[in-house]
Structure 1
Amino acid sequence: MAAPAGTKTFVFNEVSKHNKTKDCWLIIHGKVYDVTPFMEDHPGGDEVLLAATGKDATTDYEDIGHSNDAQNMMHKYYIGEVDKETVPQKRVYVQPKDWASKPDKNPEFVIKILQFLVPIIILGLAFAIRSYTKEKSA
């Protein structure tokens, strides 16, 4: 089915460049949506939307089971159609360019936090066990 007259058609590579918090486009059911204004309001957080960039996000969208309100809201973010011939068959994950600007989402940051917290948690548990066993033996 052809896009209505006057509808903008985008190639996949152009759409996939819009993969940042301040510039986020998604492809769902062959339509292109600029969801940038919705990033802060998305119930799943902006990470969910960013993870859906750089690919056809139809399956991701359908798997969630969006409400009728969510589906009706989509029209205001619609900006055109994607040329389906340019969409790769294989789903490719493209890491958002501003991923590094969110240190709490960066895997290296999480590892550093865990390296710091795990010993503290272990010491806390050891102290609690020691206190508990002292009370039981007294």
Structure 2
Amino acid sequence: MASDRKVHHFEEVEKHNTTKDCWLIISGKVYDVTAFMDDHPGGDEVLLSATGKDATNDFEDVGHSDSAREMMDKYYIGDIDASTVPTKKTYIPPQQAPYNPDKTPEFVIKILQFLVPLLILGLAFAVRSFTKKE
């Protein structure tokens, strides 16, 4: 397979996603693991779940042995063109609304958030004017 080594585009690698034709991207390299599908200790499902993406994190999270890493050399078929790999999307959790146990409509909460400070300020001025000594 040494003569087949080249730079692959993600779209090409993504198409090889079956037990009869399986390619993986790990650490910027492309591996044709089709011949290893039956022998993989985790089963072929693990390898198939790593297709269609950069599987580096999946591979590293398992903690493969040095001998497993050495074995990868015989499946190496080239490098991935990094510019063709889709960027990973960062999860941004939805913004939570303030706690609203009685399910008061949002517009009422906004009005109260505006009016309550004004009422307190008005009350402070009223108290001050009534208690002011002349």
**TM tier relative to shorter chain:** 0.5 to 0.7
Give the match for residue 136 of structure 1: none
State yes or no: 1:69 paired with 2:67: yes
Letter in 2 for 1:59: N
Structure 2 matches for 1:18-97, cutoff 5 A? 18-90=16-88
Aligned-pair RMSD on alpha carbons?
Answer: 1.3
Aligned length: 86
Q: Which structure has the bigger radius of gyration?
A: 2
Query: What is the CA–CA distance in structure 1 between the aligned matches of 2:60 and 2:27, rounded to whole Å?
Result: 10
Matched residue SS, 1:80: strand
TM-score by length of structure 1 reads: 0.60
Structure 2 matches for 1:95-114, cutoff 5 A? none
Greater than 2 Å deviation, 4+ residue runs: none
Matched residue SS, 2:54: coil
Query: What is the CA–CA distance in structure 2 between the aligned matches of 1:62 and 1:78, rounded to whole Å?
Result: 17
**Ranges in structure 2 where 5+ consecutive residues have no aligned partner:** 90-134
TM-score by length of structure 2 reads: 0.62
Query: What is the CA–CA distance in structure 1 between the aligned matches of 2:78 and 2:27, rounded to whole Å?
Result: 11
Residues 41 and 63 (structure 1), Cα distance of their counterparts in 2 relative to 1, 3 Å cut = same
Q: Percent identical across equivalent pairs?
A: 70
TM-fit CA distance, 1:90? 2.3
TM-fit CA distance, 1:7? 4.3
The structure richer in helix per residue is 1
